[in-house]
Structure 1
Amino acid sequence: MKLFFTQKLKPLIPINTAMAAELLADLRDSVVQADCPKLAKQLDNQPSAAFLCAVLELSPFLREVLLRRPGIIETLCETPLEARLEQVFSEISASSISDGVTETTLMAALRRMKQEAHVLIALADLAGLFETAQTTGWLTRMAEACIRAAVCFLLRDADESGKIKLPDRAKPETGCGWIVLGMGKLGAHELNYSSDIDLIVFIDETSKAIGDPLDCVETFSRLTRRLVRILQDRTADGYVFRVDLRLRPDPGSTPLAIPVEAALNYYEGRGQNWERAAMIKARPVAGDIEAGRKVLAELAPYVWRKYLDYAAIADVHSIKRQIHAHRGLGDIAVRGHNVKLGRGGIREIEFFVQTQQLIAGGRFPELRGSQTVAMLGRLAERAWITPDARDALGQRYAFLRDIEHRIQMIADEQTHVLPEDDEGFLRVARMMGYAKAEDFSKDFLAALATVENHYAALFEQAPELGSETGNLVFTGDVDDPGTLETLSKLGFQRPSDICRVIRTWHFGRYRATRSAEARGRLTELTPALLKAFGETKRADEALLRFDELLKGLPAGIQLFSLLQSNPPLLGLLVLIMSAAPRLADIITRKPHVFDGLLDPAIFAEMPTRAYLEERLESFLGNGRLYEDILDRLRIFAAEHRFLIGIRLLSGAIDGQRAGRAFSDLADLMIGKALAAVLEEFGRRHGTVAGGRVCILGMGKLGSRELTAGSDIDLILLYDHDEDAEESDGEKQLAPSQYYIRMTQRLIAALSAPTAEGVLYEVDLRLRPSGNKGPVATHIAAFGKYQRKDAWTWEHMALTRARPVAGDETLLAHIASEVDAILALPRDAAKTAKDVVEMRALIEKEKPPRNLWDMKLKPGGIIDLEFLAQFAALTGNVETKRRSTATEDILAHLSHSFAEPSVSDELVDAHRLYTRLSQTIRLCLTGEVESDDLPPGFADLLCRAADLPDLQRVEIHLEQVAKTVRKHFDALLRQAMRKA
């Protein structure tokens, strides 16, 4: 080996010769102060002085170190550079066992020695004494030496404190159980000048050094954290290496040190495509080297698949699609171009090699190497690539790596981007040996174009992932700049957060994404999902709701496949997530409700009572246990409320039809719950002689106008033999007590919260005497109260009463009883006066919140209901059979009470309110706030109102309300005058 200064050094040209001369003079001063006579003499040598002069001017980082520590190159006057590097590495290794070493002294020593090695390697590189592979090889060895020195120190320290028991303190790494894998360029011996080092840390739990396997994760995670601190923390002496541990399995939820068995289970069950590619370069670099080799041997079948079955080919194509999207990272350019990630850059060459290796390496072990250029040669030998591709990519790889090193030598920063300013760009060109920036630009563009052409040819058959939208790359654990830009363009406000969420899907942390097939389907679906969510007004919010859905799904393949093959269903899902937070919340909490959408006939069949009853009987099956029946009812009700809502949301049914469907569903649930309660109650308390029960549906349940979020208003009535004194069960009860207790049990069955949710919130305030009266009423008492003591408002409420469940004979009796009570003669003027006063009282005590409060606003739903109820009570409805539906009554107002045109306007108003209120209750949990509507919800309101924009809907609502209030006032004033 020759001495550094006796060799022919590649000439470098400084940018500013005057500045370079001044810097050389500064170096001479430093040499004198540091007492470096050999170097002082060498500076009189013209070639040596010229080289150092240019280095000082072109590299601020090297300048700062050399002016402060000229002794680094003093050694080169009598020791060959390679020999000096070997000495430095030996000193690094010895630093962890020197007398009195502490963590602090070790950190200082490693920083000083790494800095010296760093400078020596840079000088050899710039001088043309090292080829690219030699430069990366020396940089890698330096990193390994530093890592091993820190690991050895930490192992001895842990041994001394009793955390572990080393088999041999003189050789602490042997059998220690602490496996440190070098990944990426460190693992491939291709480290760049200012690179991070990628590590994965495993624990061999079978190692004799580990005392308690239960404590080993905490022990070695703590050691790993200290290892990172020793290497990475910036001190007065700088830092050694930035450390990245994010290539380990599922880094967001796993410890820094992972037991081998857990890691193997992860890779075999949840390992991702990009992790296969990453493992190509994995290599034990410190700790228990032998155990590390065994781990990689066990992982070989995961990385290198012997047979290229369909799934394996799909995996490789998935990698290709993700990599191919990188082509969107800017056009081929020069200034500001990312030499690593940009088009035609280093990453494209690396992926070109790795994808070929993944395809062929399972059958040809010689293709399993980690070094890029060497594998280009092996691929050519096997005819997987042409000799032309081997030579062209090999040469450009070295050229681009040299440029990368020089960019980083400027300030010792981990950057891969060429400077955009003239001086900075020329600085890199001069360090590359070019006198003119234009010549460098020409060669650089030619290199990028060559790489791009070979890379594009490799992926010609791969489906485009980013062609329409741009980059969509979610591999690794670092945000891809182009992907962030794409997400922003799609409409996402927090693209980095969205990247993190999608990476969570790929890590298989949810049950729905644990299988490789599910993750593959979701990867295929992701671009369409992002595009669809991006078209909503609050894309982030919608996607996060979808993420909550994924968290709760027990499995994902079926749903992902369905969405992939059914764009309208995907659109519906996006609509739910963006426009219907209430429905989205239901899906999130109870994802099983979404199962109903897997039925392709769901939108073709109307949710009639017969349809619901048939499915309910099938769902209940032969279940006879009380709690099981109730839970099945809760599950069925939740799913079918959701499916009715979906039909409404999609436009398959209108608001009026939805109201009937919600009410039919409630009727069935109440009937089945009542039957179950009666049977269960009878087990202990028996039955009452002649006992019969009937439930009257009141309010919107009675009028068949329930919404997705409605409570149910009920009155429970009963009858029994006159001479019945007690029930005949084990624990006897008097009839009144029997039915009160039974009713309380029914209320609990309907409204008590359980793991399966609540069937319905129940309101019994419309029973005789309201909250003061018993919860169950004898039919005789009910008839007597309604005839003699009921207020006008109670008779108004009774106009909507409808028997919904119970004994068939009692149901018929109660129906005729209600008809009879409503047919009683009334003073129309007094009734009208009571209605007007009641409406005024409500308006005073419960004023509307805003114009969207369609129930309480003047001219709103209450006005329409009161008009219909007044007409029903006073005989102003022309129908053969009593109807409880508000709209039906308004449509049949007698002509003596209201002109047909008035009746039509009232019906139209009610239909508008029904469509809007059904949509609102379906989608929102709270009230409508015009300035803060969920994205897409405004469009639903416009569709419900059949108007083009929300402003026109609001104007129309105001006009309709004024019309209704005008008719309300006129019709009731007229009724009072006529009397």
Structure 2
Amino acid sequence: MSSYVRAPHAHAEPLSETIDPTRAAAAAQRWRRALAEGLGQDPGAALDEPRRMLAMLKVFGSTRRLADLCLRYPVFAGEAFLNGPSAVLAQAARDLTALSGGVGAADALYAALAPIKNRADIAIAIAEISSQWTTAQATTARTDLAERLVETALGWLVRGAVNRGELPVSLDEGAAKGVFALAGGDFSAEDLAPHGPLDLLVVYNADVFDGQAKRMAERAFIRISAELREAFEGKPGDYPIYAVRTPLGNCVNGQGLVESAARVTAALSNPQQNPVKRWCAASRVVAGDRRTGGEFLEAAEELIWGKGELLGENGRAELQKMSDDPRQPFRAAANLLRWSLGRSRPFFRALSAREVFDAGAETGAVPADVAARLSVGAELAQTIVARAQMMKGAAAFGAATADEEGALASLCNYSDYASLAAARDGAIADARNALVRLLEGPRADFARYRAAERNPDDVDKLQDLGFRNGAGLSTLIDGWAELCAAGGDIRFSEIAPGLLTAFGETQHPDEAVRLFDRMLKIEENSVRNVHTSTRTGVRDGLIDALGCFGAAVEPLVETAQAAATLFEPRGPETPKSGAEWLNRHAPPKPAEGLAALGQWRREQIARVALCAAAGDMTFDAAASALGAVHVATLKRLFDDARESVDPALPVALHMFDGPARGVPGYNAPLGFIADGGDAEKR
């Protein structure tokens, strides 16, 4: 298995590139001499106990970074070997508390945090390797340490901004009012590896600032975002404290790591931002103003859990992605249970993977034997990743070279790497099988024993066409037939020929069926309209739009008035350019407000997608129409914002050209041109 690792560009001290277990005894002796010098005496026979001796040999013969840290901090390593990790971790907590008044740039913060993190890493790693702690206990300790580090780092950077006059807020016990940190992923679930990745999002309440202070605060938090990432990942040449990830950006220069509460809420309100919803669904407050953070999560509850399915087709595909991380299939199974059961059982949301499987067995969502296997497999995968990161000192997922393979097998208590790989691959295969069965749901188990149905061949034929659940679709079609019967003299057979085949030929057959069913139920004349469209040839274009551009077309099936658009006559009169499109479908008047503008934009995107799918509009014409809608929307937004601030302000909006300008989902590079007036206002 290949591995991913974010390694430093250069080592602080020269280290042997090859891990050689034959050098372990000599390195252990050097460490004992350094320990004796640090203590002022030789600890003697206490270190000669066989279990401790074997742990020392593993540290110095199977790791690079951990061995280096033990030689750098011999006294702390000795304390961990002799008395366990508790004293070292308690000292680390006191050292972090002592930084509560610290200020400085990101490099100063890194310099303050890195030694504390290194000493804590030594203690936890030695406790795990020497079997004083289980992997689960070590993981919990690492998560607690990460929370303290985030709390200290956030307080440090916010305090610096306050001292510089960039943030006009008061500090309450080191935390700025309205600023808090959310943990997601492994961090939230207490499944954190030594070097992450650390899933983090810092949120601030922009409403506590007014006017100029609001703009100053936004600039200050952009700076804090970049500094927070640098403080954890270090500069080139530094070992990272943690690799950092965030759900709202790529984290380059801290992008998306710190965001306003309004922007996060807007992302949660966007139906196309389900990944952000899923991230926040299992998040928890770990630092900063915890009261405000708790209120934010309570307010977001309905946005996250109340609107539509949290998982969706994209979520299912995301869960089944392959990864170099051996924990991925276990995390996917745990996330599926969190997202499926978290709505009705909130305690599921922040449980660790092992706890999720145990709780799933107790509630009957997972068979007890499957849950037990998943729990054991998740701990094995966590052990492999944790010890690979101990070995390398960075966010690695496994071994990359032959010497690392042997070292990792030794650290995981396997005789050779082949045995470790076989155990790992077997556990991963078992987890993927469990994930597939969980995604199928309990009906898949019942289907095997189901008696002959009315038309059992129909179900198989439907699934052959590409539908995921043929039995469910068969029931749905029966409902359509009843609608036809209730609608008068139109028979379902008159609109059905070729209908299911047309669904199956689209990119997302199940999505097409869902939207078609919704359309039939929301528009009282829909059955007659479908019948008419079948005869005029309009129906196939409609099916293509529902199955290929479902997310774009969905606004047209939200109301009966919009659904009527689906059956409007199209053809030569369809606009062929952006200008023609705006002449035909003008934006709402400014007095109607921005909400009407947003709804107009969604409907225009849906109309363009429908025309393109039906072949009534070339893709060049569709791109031109989308670009025109995009420009008209941005112009109205800019005019509205300028009007609300200062209509006479000499500022202009410039849009850069590009091949995908106006296409939904692509970035829209913008610029502002200001002239005259005070430099600060510009």
CA positional deviation for 1:425: 1.9
C-alpha distance 161-223 of structure 1, shift in aligned 2 (>3 A): same
Matches within 5 A, 1:550-565: 563-564=544-545
Partner of 2:529: none
Structure 2 equivalent of residue 86 of structure 1: 90
Which one of 148, 157, 162 corresponds to residue 154 of structure 1?
Answer: 157
Deviation, 1:323, is 2.4
Contact 2:333 2:431 in 1 (8 A): no
Q: CA deviation at 1:121?
A: 0.9
Q: 1:184 to 1:32 in 2, by over 3 A?
A: same
Pairing 1:445–2:425 present: yes
| Equivalent of 2:385 in 392, 401, 404 | 404
Alignment pair present for 1:58 and 2:54: no
CA drift at 1:454:
0.9
Deviation at residue 390 of structure 1 after TM alignment: 1.5
- 8 Å contact kept, 1:166–1:209: no
Q: 2: CA distance between counterparts of 1:387 and 1:140?
A: 28
Indicate the structure (1 or 2) with the bigger Cα radius of gyration.
1
> Normalised by the size of structure 1, how large is the TM-score?
0.43
**Residue equivalent to 2:309:** 312
Q: 1:29-82 CA distances to partner (integer Å, 9 max, x unpaired)? A: 433554553446644545423320222000111111222321222334775421
Shift of 1:602: 4.1
| Superposed CA offset, 1:771-806 (max 9, x none) | xxxxxxxxxxxxxxxxxxxxxxxxxxxxxxxxxxxx
Q: Give 2:343's match in structure 1, choosing from 350, 358, 362.
A: 362
CA displacement at 1:123 relative to structure 2: 0.9
Q: Separation in 1 of the partners of 2:290 and 2:300? A: 15
- Structure number with the bigger relative contact order (C-alpha 8 A, sep ≥ 6) is 2
Matching of residue 124 in structure 1 with residue 104 in structure 2: no
Tell me which of 368, 372, 377 is aligned to 2:358: 377
Q: Do 1:167 and 1:176's aligned partners in 2 also have CA atoms closer than 8 Å?
A: yes
CA contact 2:161–2:167 (8 Å) conserved in 1? yes
Q: Deviations over 1:369-393 (max 9, x none)?
A: 3422222222222211111221111
| Aligned residues of 2:55 and 2:129 also touching (Cα < 8 A) | no
1:199 aligns with 2:211: no
Q: Residues 312 and 87 of structure 1: is their aligned pair in 2 closer, same or farther, counting only changes over 3 Å?
A: same
Change over 3 Å in CA distance of 1:436–1:239 after alignment to 2: closer
| In structure 2, distance between residues paired with 1:432 and 1:527 | 45
- The 5 A counterparts of 1:136-215 are 136-168=139-171, 171-173=173-175, 175-207=176-208, 212-215=213-216
Structure 2 equivalent of residue 513 of structure 1: none
In 1, the alpha carbon distance for the partners of 2:361 and 2:25 equals 49
Counterpart contact for 2:76–2:88, Cα < 8 Å? no
- Shift of the 105–418 alpha-carbon distance from structure 1 to 2, 3 Å rule, reads closer
Opposite residue 117 of structure 1, the aligned amino acid is A
Whether the aligned pair in 1 keeps the contact of 2:334 and 2:353 (CA below 8 Å) is yes
1:205–1:31 CA distance, 2 compared to 1 (3 A): same
Contact 2:330–2:374 (CA<8 Å) still a contact in 1?
yes
Structure 1 residue aligned with 2:77, among 73, 77, 91? 73
Cα distance, 1:118 vs. partner? Answer: 1.0
User: Matched residue of 2:199: which SS?
Assistant: strand
Q: Distance in 2 between matches of 1:647 and 1:298?
A: 44
Which is further off, 241-250 or 48-57? 241-250
* Residues 526 and 424 of structure 1: CA distance in aligned 2, closer, same or farther (over 3 Å): farther
Give unmatched runs, 5+ long, in structure 2: 1-17, 445-462, 465-505, 513-538, 551-564, 585-607, 622-630, 633-682
The 1:441/1:355 distance shift into structure 2, 3 A limit, reads closer
**Does 2:425 align with 1:424?**
no
Q: Which of 359, 366, 386 does residue 367 from structure 2 map onto?
A: 386
- Give me the whole-angstrom Cα distance separating, in 2, the residues matched to 1:186 and 1:104: 24
Give the alignment's Cα RMSD to 1 decimal. 4.6
Matched residues in 1 for 2:199 and 2:97: separation?
21
Letter in 2 for 1:390: A
Q: Percent identity?
A: 18
AA in 1 matched with 2:283: A
Cα 1:560–1:367, aligned 2, differ >3 Å: closer, same or farther? farther
Instruction: Tell me which residue corresponds to 2:331.
Output: 350
- Alignment partner, residue 749 of structure 1: none
Contact 2:19–2:404 (CA<8 Å) still a contact in 1?
no
1:152 CA drift (Å): 1.8
CA 1:375 to 1:48, structure 2 compared with 1: closer, same or farther past 3 Å? closer
C-alpha deviation, 1:259, in angstroms: 2.2
The runs of 5 or more residues in structure 1 that have no matched partner are 1-13, 330-337, 469-521, 529-557, 571-595, 621-638, 651-707, 709-754, 757-979
- 1:201-259, Cα deviation, whole Å (9 max, x unpaired): 21113448999334322222222222222222237764422323344699999865322
What letter is aligned with 2:276? E
Structure 2 distance, partners of 1:451, 1:103, is 41
Contact 2:196 / 2:242 at 8 angstroms: preserved in 1?
A: yes
CA shift for structure 1 position 432 = 0.8
User: Residue 26 and residue 38 in structure 1: after superposition, are their counterparts in 2 closer, same or farther (change >3 A)?
Assistant: closer
525 and 92 in structure 1: CA distance in 2 versus 1, 3 angstrom threshold: farther
Q: Is the 8 A contact 2:196 2:244 kept in 1?
A: no
Contact 2:52 2:130 in 1 (8 A): no
Report the secondary structure of 2:309's partner residue: helix
Amino acid at match of 2:138: T
Distance 1:157 1:422 in 2: 47
How far does residue 154 in structure 1 lie from its aligned partner after superposition?
Answer: 2.1
For residues 344 and 305 of structure 2, the distance between their equivalents in structure 1, rounded to whole angstroms, comes to 8
The separation in 2 between residues aligned to 1:249 and 1:400, in whole angstroms, is 26
Q: CA deviation digits over 1:600-633, x for unaligned, max 9?
A: 7749x9x9xxxx9xxx9xx99xxxxxxxxxxxxx
